[in-house]
Amino acid sequence: MTIAGVEPRAVVTPRDQAELGAVVRELFAAGKSFAFVGGGTELELGNVPTSLDTVVNTSGCNRIIDYAPEDQTITVEAGMTVAAVSEILAAHDQFIAIDAPDAQRSTIGGAIATNAYGRRRLRFGSIKDNIVGIGIVRGDGIAARGGGKVVKNVAGFDIPKLMVGALGSLGAIASATFRVHPIDKRSRAVAVRHLTVAGVMRVCSEVIGEALVPSSIVAYDNGERYDCVVTFDGFHRGVDEQVRALTAIAQRLRFAADVLSADDLTPLEERERGARCDARWRVRLGAAPTALAEFLSSGEMAGVRRVYYPALGAAFVTGDDLDAATIARWRSALDGGLVVVAAMPPAARGAVETWGTPPPSFPFMRRMKANFDPKNLCNPGRFVGGI
Q: pLDDT by residue (tens digit) across 192-202?
A: 999 999 999 99
Instruction: Give dist(CA 365, CA 46) in Å, integer.
Output: 16
Higher pLDDT, 243 or 335: 243
In the sheet that 257-260 helps form, which strands lie side by side, from edge to edge? Answer: 257-260, 186-195, 225-234, 216-222, 305-309, 314-319, 281-286, 338-343
Q: What percent of the chain has pLDDT over 70?
A: 98
Domains present along the chain, CATH in parentheses? 10-57+364-386 (no CATH), 60-182 (3.30.465.10), 186-260 (3.30.70.260), 273-348 (3.30.70)
pLDDT at position 156: 52
Instruction: Give dist(CA 119, CA 104) in Å, integer.
Output: 18
pLDDT above 70 for 319: yes
pTM, two decimal places: 0.93
Q: pLDDT by residue (tens digit) across 75-116?
A: 999 999 999 999 999 999 999 999 998 999 999 999 999 999
**Beta strands in 302-349, from DSSP E residues, in sequence order:** 305-309, 314-319, 338-343
Split at pLDDT 50, 70, 90, the class of 123 is very high
> Average pLDDT for residues 348-371, to the nearest whole number?
92
Q: pLDDT by residue (tens digit) across 131-151?
A: 999 999 998 899 999 987 654
Residue 273 has φ and ψ, to the nearest 5°, of -65, -40
Residue 241 has φ and ψ, to the nearest 5°, of -65, -40
Q: pLDDT by residue (tens digit) across 49-80?
A: 999 999 999 999 999 999 999 999 999 999 99
Alpha helix locations (H) across 210-356? 236-253, 262-277, 289-296, 324-333
pLDDT above 80 for 154: no
pLDDT at position 256: 97
Q: pLDDT by residue (tens digit) across 323-348?
A: 999 999 999 999 889 999 999 999 99
Contact 81, 106 (CB under 8 A): yes
